[in-house]
Structure 1
Amino acid sequence: MARRGSRVQKDEEDAELNMTPMLDVVFILLIFFIVTAVFVKEPGVDVIRPEINNLDRQRPTILVAVTSTDEIWINRDVYEITQVRGVLEQLLSENPRAEAMIQGDEGAPIGTVLDVQEMLLQLGVEVTISGVE
């Protein structure tokens, strides 16, 4: 009796890999990291800060810089003292749990720094004043 060919037929097709589920997972992770990321805001000007004894490292979400020429910098823009409250309210509407840090130059008028601090406290924002450690 003659043998016929093998009963098992071999598929010579290439196996295809479905990439859709993996791409879905990658996009979901990307969206998750974008939504949960905390972006640090920069005041827009470098100030020479006075020395202080501060042991805690803080990561504020609002940075306000007051220069020695009495300029107030928030998010790389200069504002007058009368405009600061509106800008701060807008930033708080974006992040209600914001914490603020004021970076005052060594020669900055203390009255301006205190005015900005008072505005932040009236808006219910936790405020710290930055210095060189």
Structure 2
Amino acid sequence: MQLNPRKEEEPEINMTSLIDVVFLLLIFFMVSTTFERQAALKIDLPEASAQEEPTEQPRQLELAIDAEGRMFLNDAQLVDNRPATIRSALAELAGEGRELPIIIRADAQTPHHFVVTAMDVTGQLGFTRLSIATERVDDAQP
């Protein structure tokens, strides 16, 4: 009878298979992820500040859209809200000046697709200075 105790071996965890699984998951998520294509039109969002506006403003185009989707370019109502109508009105009023700033003023109840259509047409015409007008809201109001 042998009563000498055996030396216990330290348990060993093999990390190789765990690392392989992690890499496979990483590759799976990288391959299956869809990437959203960003639009080429850059938008300058308006900044709200308490400073006074300059008295002399550069020439600009203002496209207003009411709640029913009627469009007004510099206070003149467009015949309809089709992209071709918007395109021809902007091209006629701007001429070759594609550096003119365009301000889109949309009613809060305007359907989203009218604003997107206006932005798309301005981008197709080559306008790069686009702003969306907003109203300043005080946070202190309940």
TM range (shorter): 0.5 to 0.7
Query: Which structure 1 residue ranges, 5 or more long, are not aligned?
Result: 1-51
Please report the TM-score for the alignment, with normalisation by the length of structure 1.
0.53
Amino acid at match of 2:102: A
Instruction: Please report the TM-score for the alignment, with normalisation by the length of structure 2.
Output: 0.50
Deviations along 1:14-66, whole A, 9 cap, x unmatched? xxxxxxxxxxxxxxxxxxxxxxxxxxxxxxxxxxxxxx973376956000000
2:65 and 2:110 in contact (8 A); partners too: yes
Q: C-alpha separation between the residues in 2 aligned to 1:54 and 1:122? A: 25
Letter in 2 for 1:109: P
Provide the C-alpha distance between the structure 2 equivalents of 1:122 and 1:99, rounded to a whole number of angstroms: 15
The alpha-carbon deviation at position 94 of structure 1 amounts to 5.8
Give the structure 1 partner of residue 120 of structure 2: 118
Per the TM alignment, residue 110 of structure 1 is displaced from its structure 2 partner at its CA by 0.9
Q: Spell out structure 1 runs of 4+ moving beyond 2 A.
A: 52-60, 94-97
Gaps of 5+ in 2: 1-44, 137-142
Aligned partners of 2:69 and 2:81 also within 8 Å: no
Structure ID, larger Rg:
2
Match of 2:133 among 125, 130, 133: 130
| Match status 1:55 vs 2:54 | no
Partners in 1 of 2:134 and 2:90 — Cα distance? 21
Measured in 2, the distance between the counterparts of 1:128 and 1:74 equals 14
Aligned length: 82
- The verdict on how the C-alpha distance between 1:87 and 1:132 changes in structure 2, with shifts beyond 3 A counting, is same
User: 2:46, 2:133 within 8 Å by CA — same for their partners in 1?
Assistant: no
CA distance in 1, matches of 2:81, 2:95: 20
- 1:75 Cα offset (Å): 2.3
Aligned to 2:95, the other structure's residue is in SS state helix
1:112-131 deviations in Å (ceiling 9; x for gaps): 01100111111111211111
1:1-133 matched pairs, under 5 angstroms: 54-55=47-48, 61-79=60-78, 80-82=80-82, 83-93=85-95, 95-125=97-127, 126-133=129-136
Amino acid in structure 1 at the alignment position of 2:74: N
Displacement after TM superposition at 1:85 (Å): 0.7
Letter in 2 for 1:132: E
Cα distance in 2 between the residues matched to 1:53 and 1:75? 19
